[in-house]
A and B are shown apart, each in its own frame.
Chain A
Amino acid sequence: MISGNHVSAEALERYVRGEEGFIVLEAHLESCSLCRAKLTEAVAAKAPHVTRLINDVWSRVDTSMPAGARQRRWIPWLATWATPAMQPWFGMTVLVAALAWVLDHVAMRDSGYPAVLLLAPIAPVLAVAASWARGADPAHELVAATPRAGLYLVLRRTVAVMALVMPTLLAFTLLEADIGAALWMAPCVALTIGTLALGSVIELTRAAYVLIGLWTASVIIPSLVTGVLSEALEPASLPDWIVAIAVCGAVLVTRADAYCRLSRQA
């Protein structure tokens, strides 16, 4: 009845005519698309009444079912990278960069270096912190009890922030012809990873405030007061930033468990 690995044409024909019901044959049909295709042909050729019946059923099912809602395919994918709660922070980051640029061009600030450069390194820090803060994400309580809660999810969201912030900053700095992207990109990455590393020890939002405070006090204010760009943003300090990235990265990896940590209290 089943010759080789497939159903013989003659057995299929008898099955279609309803002469015999073969349990073995049906079991094979369930798992074999080739034989199902042959069955379809056999039904069409030998048993038109079955085809009519099936078409009739389908048309009735079609009219009785409500039209399926259109599924937004990109939403489930996007949600695994960034939550809707992060939207305003994305907006804020872009706005800060835009404001710095406006400051340079409309306010005619005349200091020899663009303000975008001062703000760029801290631009993603708040958005990264907000992506994992209890207060900023309404679903945080739900997320905290899931297996994915942990460094992996934090990093995924960080990558999403960076994927939006970096091109924006790049666009603004490219408008200033004479500054290289590496000048701000290295401190930007270092501060972001530093926030995550510090956030594994103290709360992530606090870590963001600490680093923003440090940056403001040691780079932004001196640069504005003296009118000379801080050394931290000179090409000469690039190796230091790379060392900082490596150190913070190492700390983050060793402290990874802290991100699936249970809080002792709410």
Chain B
Amino acid sequence: MVRAVRAAELAPTKFAFPIQARQLKVKAGKTTAVDGLTVSLGAGVHGLLGPNGAGKTTLIRALATVLRPADGALDVLGHPTGTRAGLRELRRHLGYLPQEFGFYPRFTVREFVGYMAWLKEVPKATVPDAVQYAIERVGLADRADVKMKTLSGGMLRRAGIAQAIVNDPQILLLDEPTVGLDPAQRLHFRELLRELSADTCVVVSTHLVEDVAAACTDVILFDAGRLVFQGTPAELMAAGDASAPGDSPTERGYSTLLARHQNAEKGAR
């Protein structure tokens, strides 16, 4: 697909990191699900790891500009997300796959992805090509004209990823994208992540430690709304005690760091 390069794309960026959070607090209902998070994310695949209820989904929703920060600052592509100015421009460069994403069962995959492309203000002339490309990238080309209700769980998830990447986003937020994918699809998905990570800031939330080790350039370990650890998968592996529970070095690193953090929290109280 040939596309023109706009002046805006060549303009120097005015921010150091696509995602920058300082003392970020986000509420989910009445509880503060993200509590004083300070983190900077550049290009690459960032694995957001943590136990259930750690605040992963809330953080992703705040990054997707669906939730407003309750306190602190969250800059995405240089736009402060707490304000409304510039929000529309920012959202053009976002790709977002919620954990449970709703869809219209009678739409075909192509219609669904095309509808999302319209919502994301993809230029009308390029929509059909962009839709086809996104669907092919997730390996769903043979099902492109099949109704969504007939798809299996893994295929639905891939359709969800297709809609997330249809606008060629600079920031891609994926909440539990590997749920429901079989091992072969998982490998394919990791490859796609690697492909995207060259020029995109990808944030993938997961509770599957092996996904992180295999596909992420950076790990963010997160518990009860607080940052526990940020580093490379290798550093996560190195942090593990031999005696810690887990079947792989990554899992041992995960449980060691988490246990250490939880003990420190208890001690502080």
Using CB atoms and an 8 Å cutoff, list the residues of chain A in contact with chain B. 68-69, 71-72, 75-76, 79-80, 83-85, 137-150, 153, 257, 260-266
Q: How far is the CA of A84 from the CA of B108 in the complex (A)?
A: 13
B15 contacts across to A, CB distance below 8 A: none
Q: How far is the CA of A208 from the CA of B67 in the complex (A)?
A: 23
The reply to whether B104 and A146 contact each other, CB–CB distance below 8 Å, is no
Within 8 A of A (CB), among B80-104: 81, 84, 87-89, 91-92, 94, 96, 98, 100-104
Assembled-state Cα–Cα distance A85/B104 (Å)? 8
**Measured CA separation A149–B121 after assembly (Å):** 10
B88 touches A147 (CB 8 A): yes
Q: Which residues of A contact B116 (CB under 8 A)?
A: 142, 146
Give the nearest-CB partner of A262 in chain B: B68
A140 to B66 Cα, complex, angstroms: 10
Q: Which residues of A contact B107 (CB under 8 A)?
A: 75, 79, 84
Complex CA gap A149/B66 in Å reads 11
Write the nearest CB–CB distance from A73 to chain B, whole angstroms.
10
The 10 closest A-B pairs by CB, nearest first: A138-B102, A69-B145, A262-B68, A146-B119, A147-B91, A145-B64, A84-B104, A147-B88, A139-B102, A145-B96
Contacts of A153 in B (CB 8 A): 119
Complex-state Cα separation, A265 to B30, whole angstroms: 8
In the complex the two chains form, is A264's CB within 8 Å of B119's CB? no
Q: A265-B67, A266-B28 are in contact. Are A79 and B115 (CB under 8 A)?
A: yes
**Which A residues lie within 8 Å of B98 (CB)?**
141-142
A260 to B98, CA, bound (A): 18
A140, B107: Cα distance in complex, Å? 16
Contact assessment for A76 and B114 in the assembled complex, using a CB-CB cutoff below 8 Å? yes
Chain B residues with Cβ below 8 Å from A262 are 65-68, 81
- Which of B61, B67, B68, B111 is the one whose CB lies under 8 Å from A76? B111
Contact B104 A139 (CB under 8 A): yes
Residues on A with C-beta less than 8 A from B27 are: 264-265
- B29 in the interface (beta carbon within 8 A): yes
Contact B145 A145 (CB under 8 A): no
Within 8 Å of chain A (Cβ to Cβ): is B163?
A: yes
Instruction: Give the interface residue-count category, chain B.
Output: 35 or more
The yes or no answer to B260 lying at the interface (CB within 8 A) is no
- Which residues of B pack against A, CB within 8 Å? 27-30, 61, 64-68, 70, 81, 84, 87-89, 91-92, 94, 96, 98, 100-104, 106-108, 110-111, 114-116, 118-121, 144-145, 163
B120–A260 CB distance below 8 A = no
CB pair A141–B65 under 8 Å, yes or no, is: no
Contact of A140 among B81, B102, B114 (CB under 8 A): B102
Q: List 23 A-B contacts (CB under 8 A).
A: A71-B110, A72-B111, A76-B111, A76-B114, A83-B104, A84-B104, A138-B104, A141-B66, A142-B96, A142-B101, A142-B102, A142-B116, A145-B91, A145-B96, A146-B120, A147-B91, A148-B118, A148-B121, A260-B87, A262-B65, A262-B67, A265-B29, A266-B28
Contact A145 B94 (CB under 8 A): yes
**C-alpha gap A265/B32 in the complex (Å):** 10
Given contacts A84-B104, A141-B102, A265-B28, contact A148 B119 (CB under 8 A): yes
User: Are A147 and B66 in contact, CB atoms less than 8 angstroms apart?
Assistant: no
Listed residue (B108, B110, B119) with the most chain A CB atoms within 10 angstroms of its CB: B119
Kindly list chain B residues whose C-beta atoms are within 8 Å of the C-beta of A145: 64-66, 91, 94, 96
A142 and B114 alpha carbons, distance in the complex (Å): 13
Task: Kindly report which residue of chain B lies nearest to residue A264, judged by CB atoms.
Answer: B68
Closest to A140 in B: B102
A264 to B107, CA, bound (A): 31
- Having A137-B102, A147-B92, one finds 6 other A-B pairs with CB under 8 Å, namely A69-B145, A71-B110, A80-B118, A142-B96, A142-B119, A145-B66
Chain B residues closer than 8 Å to A141, beta-carbon distance: 66, 98, 100-102
* Known contacts A142-B96, A145-B96, A260-B84; is-contact A79 B28 (Cβ 8 Å): no
* Chain A residues in 8 Å Cβ range of B88: 147, 150, 260
* Chain B residues whose C-beta falls within 8 Å of the C-beta of A265 in the assembled complex: 27-30, 67
Q: Give every chain B residue within 8 A of A84 (Cβ-Cβ).
A: 104, 106-107
Contacts of A140 in B (CB 8 A): 102
Chain A contacts for B81, CB-based, 8 A: 262
Distance in Å from the Cβ of B150 to the closest Cβ of chain A? Answer: 13
A75 to B110 CA separation, bound complex (whole angstroms): 11
The CA-CA distance from A71 to B65 in the complex, in Å, is: 33
Q: Which residues of B contact A150 (CB under 8 A)?
A: 88
B169 CB, nearest partner CB in chain A, Å: 11
The docked-state distance in angstroms from the alpha carbon of A226 to that of B120 is 53
Q: For the complex, what is the distance from the CA of A140 to the CA of B104, rounded to whole Å? A: 11
CA distance A127 to B67 in the complex (A): 25
Q: Are B91 and A146 in contact (CB under 8 A)?
A: yes
Cβ contact within 8 Å between B101 and A139 = yes
